[in-house]
Amino acid sequence: MGYLFTSESVSEGHPDKVADQISDALLDNFLAFDPNSKVACETLVTTGQVVLAGEVHSKHYVDVQEVARSVINRIGYTKSEYRFDGDSCGVLSAIHEQSADINQGVDRAEKMEQGAGDQGMMFGYASKETDDYMPISLELSHRLLIDMADIRRGGKEMTYLRPDSKSQVTIEYGDDNQPKRVHTIVVSTQHDEFDEDEPMLAKIKDDVRNILIPLTISKLPARVQALFDDDYILHVNPTGKFVIGGPHGDTGLTGRKIIVDTYGGKGAHGGGAFSGKDPSKVDRSAAYASRHMAKNMVAAGLADEVLVQLSYAIGVAQPVGVFVDTYGTSKVTMSDGEIAIKIAEVFDLRPAAIEERLKLRHPMYEETAAYGHMGRTPRTVKKVFESPYFGSKEMEVELFTWEKLDYVDVIKDAFKL
């Protein structure tokens, strides 16, 4: 008998994602002028207020108020009726110096012997379900919200849209564990006030069905388009009107959407959040490294589905454990334990080596903080940073380096594929 599997996503205007983006924008600004910055920034957003807290060790001073306001305005909170907008909200900073006790366990005279910034376990996952090696339920959830944000910014259709929204996609699988069809789509979006509720709700549902979903489908590969039929269930704003939203509707905090950030409930999660943390924190860097490993393993033909776990002790360079699960889809005559030993020989998993291999000391993080850290397209962009002391700095930055398929041939050679 087949089964249903569901993943959700949230938009860049969701309160928790607003917090994530502010935390990562602060991180980027520190790294732009001091790549060795140690940063752990947390953000809280609520009605008319932003609170910044955490620990930083850096040679650079960041105008945290200006950075926070810039992010909020970019997202689209620019009107007073939202009860939260970039130009008028209060910004309180309680950021202080990083603990010297933690720093002594991380920094080393020999860079490559840098210890892990914390203990913990991190997971990476990949499968052949989509061209991006991601779970299809999560990929569709992200794409719906990316397209809705594009429609909102375009200002020509669905002009009532406000920044806060959520999506959810349920996929029906067959006995062979392959996706068969899209079963249910849920879209909830913040909107402007209407004169009457029932016509408003009918209009939004009609636009989601006839404007948003066709736009998303049109951008999908043919094999994914084939999963859509006329029988899918659609829920749009199922609780009714959704005028009060964003940080005015719900308080947002950094790190509360870790499943949205990763694999939508597929694979596993070690529990550590990403945003606001520099790459010495293996919660972030080792999660990216394990995704890089899993994706290249599947792309190399080692297995159809792979889960990688890395685990670390604070202050220790080498991981204390490497685990691999191929879910019975391995194409080599080795146990998963033997695969784990071999793959740990292919990838240098010391934190400093991960930082170097994936170029994680570059200011690449604000773009990760909405619509998922995994399954994104690697690309190079130009970014400009402003400093009250050092002026303007323009940089070319590689984004989503852990999504590169640059180890496929190395893995094929190692496993004789």
* 16 belongs to an annotated ligand binding site: yes
Give bridge partners of residue 301 from the DSSP assignment: none
Closest CA to 306 of 332, 321, 289, 324: 324
Alpha-carbon torsion (313, 302, 347, 31), positive or negative: negative
Total Cβ atoms within 10 A of residue 43: 29
Q: What's the chain's length in residues?
A: 417
Q: 292-320 b/e with 16+ CB inside 10 Å = b?
A: bbbbbbbbbebbbbbbbbbbbbebebebe
**193 annotated as a binding-site residue:** no
274 is in an annotated binding site: no
Residue 107 known to bind ligand? no
156 is known to lie in a ligand binding site: no
State yes or no: 150 annotated in a binding site: no
Task: Report which of 346, 349, 347 is spatially closest to residue 414, judged by C-alpha positions.
Answer: 346
Question: Known binder of ligand: residue 277?
Answer: yes
250 is in an annotated binding site: yes
Residue 273 marked ligand-binding: yes
Tell me the β-bridge partners of 165: 189
11 in helix, strand or coil?
coil
Task: Determine whether the annotation assigns residue 242 to a binding site.
Answer: yes
Cα–Cα distance for residue pair 277/171, rounded to 1 Å: 33
Instruction: Please give the single-letter amino acid code of residue 361.
Output: R
Name the nearest CA neighbour of 27 among 352, 319, 385, 336. 385
Tell whether residue 111 is among the known ligand binding residues. Answer: no
Q: Helices H, strands E: what count in the chain?
A: 13, 13
Annotated binding site: 14, 16, 42, 55, 98, 164-166, 241-242, 250, 256-257, 273, 277, 281
Annotated binding site for ATP: 14, 164-166, 241-242, 250, 256-257, 273, 277
Annotated binding site for L-methionine: 55, 98, 250, 281
Annotated binding site for Mg(2+): 16
Annotated binding site for K(+): 42
